[in-house]
Structures are given as C-alpha cells and as structure tokens.
Amino acid sequence: FQHDNDPKHTTKMTTALLRKLKVMEWPSISPDLKPLEHLLGILKHKVEKHHVSNVQQLHDVIIEECKRIPATNSAALVNSMPRMIKAVLNNNGANTKY
C-alpha cells in the first residue's frame, strides 16, 4: 500500500490498520510522481474556460474536455516518469519543478 500522509490517512483507526500492512514510504503530498495529477491539472484548466451554471453543465463539459485530451498527453506523462523519479530522488524526496 501507499499513501501520502494526508490527514485522513493519519487518523487513529487508519494508523492502526496501516500498522498491520506493508506500506511504502512516500513523500508527503507529492504530486511529482502522480501522472494523473498532471492530467487532472490539464483538464481543470480546460474546464475553467467554460462558464457553467449548474452541475449538469459541469458534468457535460468535463466529459467533453476529457474526450478532447489527446492520448499522446497520457503517454507523454507516463514516459516522463523515469525523469520525474530521478528528479525526486535527486531532491531527496522533496517537490521538484514537475
């Protein structure tokens, strides 16, 4: 298992459960190694350009903008992982320019 020390992961109940499992050490709240965070950032930027006035419009815009994100964006993010990992390691686990 992996978690990023988010406060909801450090409750007494969660901490007790995690003691029973093998948990990977992970930098606290580090988007550097989460390609999905970068992809969601792209989506958020595209969605914010729309002026929605209700939840249904927001839903429709999100679906439409998801369809418009080229698959090459996802592939590029996955392919950048070795570079991102190296940057995080070189920065002793701290955030990087990514």
Domain of 54, CATH number, reads: 3.30.420.10
pTM of the model: 0.60
Indicate whether 96 belongs to any domain.
no
Determine whether 92 is exposed, middle or buried from the number of CB atoms within 10 Å of its CB (0-12, 13-18, 19+). exposed
Residue type, 86: K
The DSSP secondary-structure symbol of 9 reads: G
75 is in which domain, residue-wise? 7-90
Domain count, the chain: 1
Residue 69 to residue 77: CA distance in whole angstroms:
12
Q: Give pLDDT tens digits along the chain (98 positions).
A: 566 666 776 788 888 888 888 777 666 656 667 788 889 999 999 999 999 999 999 999 999 999 999 999 989 988 988 988 888 888 877 777 76
State how far the Cα of 64 lies from the Cα of 60, in Å rounded to an integer: 6
97: in domain: no
Query: Would 68 be classed as within a structural domain?
Result: yes
Classify residue 61: in a domain, yes or no: yes
